[in-house]
Structure formats: structure tokens, C-alpha cells
Structure 1
Amino acid sequence: MSDMAPTPRFYHFAAAFGAGGLLTLMILFNGTLAIYGSLYFASWVPHLTGTVAALTLLIILRPKRVAAGRPPLWTYLGGVSGALTVMLTSATMNTALALSGTIALGLAGQVMFSLFADMRGLFGLPQRMPGARDYLSLTLIIAGSLILIFYGGGA
């Protein structure tokens, strides 16, 4: 087995780009819910509807289990981090950061944590030390975020 990761294909890029668009829509919808309710309401509604949608798909598609056994307990924390993400983005979207600033800083946070997780080999990831390109990318994302927040939006 090779240490080299498989070469990404076009559909990998398209799927990731589409997921980013869906994430933006989710934050917009949840932030709008927070205006009419509360942060808890804005988190509860999408998680309930997501649960119903996931259960419906499981019933219809009946997917086969990929691996036997139980996953590690920490994998179930995705719901907790998802709920916190929904509440925090719903709160910040309705501030001076607006939707674009919230998304930009969220991306910067994702890249920072993923570099840290790679460095430490967290959650079963292969340990990988970031290179100069990784740090340059992070710097450009943060710089772009700050430009977007402080100089974007026009007057």
C-alpha cells in the first residue's frame, strides 16, 4: 500500500465546491431562523429535519454496512460540533460579519484546525507536517477574510 494519496478527480472538486455552496445556504437559512426564534431554535430545526431526511434515505436506500463492528465513540461527537457550528454561524451571520465574513472566517478556522489535526495525527489521520504552501494558503485565506470583512460590502 502506497503512502501517496490518490489523485483527485474532477468530481471530487465539484462535490467539495457544491458542499461549500450548500453550507452557505444552510448558514443563511439557519441565521434567518435565528432572527425569528433563537440560536437553539435555529439549531434544533435543521437537525430535526436532517434527522428525518437521513432516516428516510436509510429506509429507502437500505445501504450495506461498509465495515463490521462499532465506530470509535468520538465519531458520535459530529452532531455536537454540528450543533455548535449552526448556533455560532447563526449568531455571527446576523452581525457586522454578515454571511460572507462568517463563511470566510469559518474557512480559516477549518484550515487551521485541519493543519493542527494533520500535524498531530488526530482522529486516526496520518501524521503530516504542513509545508510552506500550507502556511501560505492559510495566510492568504486569513488576509482575504480580513479584506472581505473590513473593506468589502461597499458603502
Structure 2
Amino acid sequence: MAATTSGVAGPRRPNPLEICAALCAGSLLTLMLLSNGMMAAHTTPIFASLTAHGVGTAVAVLLLALFWLRADKGPKAPRARAPLWAYLGGISGALTVVVSTVVVNSSLALTGTMALGLAGQVVLALIFDATGALGMERRLPRRNDLLALAAIIAGTLLIIFARGSAA
């Protein structure tokens, strides 16, 4: 549910590289949740979160150094400052790691946790699109958006409540 462009033609279609990048991000999120959950099962959720964020910080510093070394050193155009609320993403990221690390070790398991997480992401994205919250361009949900949400919720319910009944 991405923000629309300001042109008259409506939203542009995603290219295959964007789709592949989003699939990879989802796969990495699942891998992160699995590894954090395993760490929390052997230690504590807070230790698992601190470990994940420590390793993430180290990787981010290395990537930043790599990009800085490869960057063109010519004159740069000044950029607009990010709104103050944009810095709060770290809080939601940390809370996501801690909460999901606890929940993945519950009866929901990895699949149920990921399915509910996806449903929550889509619901909040539709709300942000519809209200224009946090600087998003306002776009009311279309019928296809609501059908997709219904399919995600139905699939989530199947994953959680139909577990083990097929055997």
C-alpha cells in the first residue's frame, strides 16, 4: 500500500526489482524473527533484542563506511531535514523485535507470528493511506485493497486455528 505519486496518471506499477527487494526484506524479517526467537529461548527477550540491535548497528556502521568510501566527493546539494517524528522508527523497531521475540516462542509459533504481523502491517498501512497520516499522500482504499486485506486475514486465521487439524 505505497503512497501514490502526485501525477494525474495515478500510482505507478512496481518494477520487478522493487518486488524482489520487498520479497527479500520479508524473508530477512522471517530469518530475523527466527534467530531472535531462538536467542530469546536460550537467554531472555531483552538480551536477544540487544544482541540483534548491536549486530545491526555494527553492520550499519560497516555499510555506512563502505558507502562513504565509494561516494562521489563532489559538491552536494543541500537536503531537507527529516521531520522529527521520523526518528521514532527506532522505537517501533525495538518494540517489534522484543514483542515478536516473546510471541514467536508462544503457541503462535513462527508462522502465526509472521501472519499476524503481516495482517497488522496491512491494516496500519491502509489506515495511513486513508488518513494521510505521517505525511503520506491520502488515498482511500479501493475494493481490491479491502479484498486483499480480507484474504490476508482469512489466511492468518487458517494458519492459526487450523494448525494440526489436517493430520
Q: TM-score range by the shorter chain?
A: over 0.9
Of the three residues 2, 7, 28, the one matched with 2:7 is 2
Equivalences, count: 155
AA at the equivalent of 1:125: M
Find the aligned partners of 2:21 and 2:66 in 1 and give their Cα distance.
Answer: 23
The CA deviation at 1:70 is 2.3
TM-score, length-scaled by structure 2:
0.86
Q: Does 1:54 align with 2:55?
A: no
AA at the equivalent of 1:142: I
The CA deviation at 1:66 is 7.8
Find the aligned partners of 2:77 and 2:105 in 1 and give their Cα distance.
Answer: 41
> Please, what is the CA RMSD of the aligned residues?
1.8
Find the aligned partners of 2:142 and 2:63 in 1 and give their Cα distance.
Answer: 41
Gaps of 5+ in 1: none
- Give deviations 1:72-130, integer Å, cap 9, x for gaps: 11111111000110011111110110000000000000000000000110111100111
Larger Rg: 2
Change (3 A) 1:151 1:66: farther
Q: Does 1:105 align with 2:116?
A: yes
TM-score, length-scaled by structure 1:
0.92
Find the aligned partners of 1:81 and 1:67 in 2 and give their Cα distance.
Answer: 29
Partner of 1:30: 36
The CA deviation at 1:11 is 1.1
Find the aligned partners of 1:7 and 1:133 in 2 and give their Cα distance.
Answer: 15
- Structure 1 runs (4+) deviating above 4 angstroms are 63-67
AA at the equivalent of 2:96: T
Partner of 2:3: none
Partner of 1:123: 134
Of the three residues 93, 107, 115, the one matched with 1:96 is 107
The structure in which a higher percent of residues are helix is 1
Partner of 1:77: 88
Of the three residues 144, 147, 156, the one matched with 1:145 is 156
| SS in structure 2 of the partner of residue 91 of structure 1 | helix
Find the aligned partners of 1:66 and 1:31 in 2 and give their Cα distance.
Answer: 43
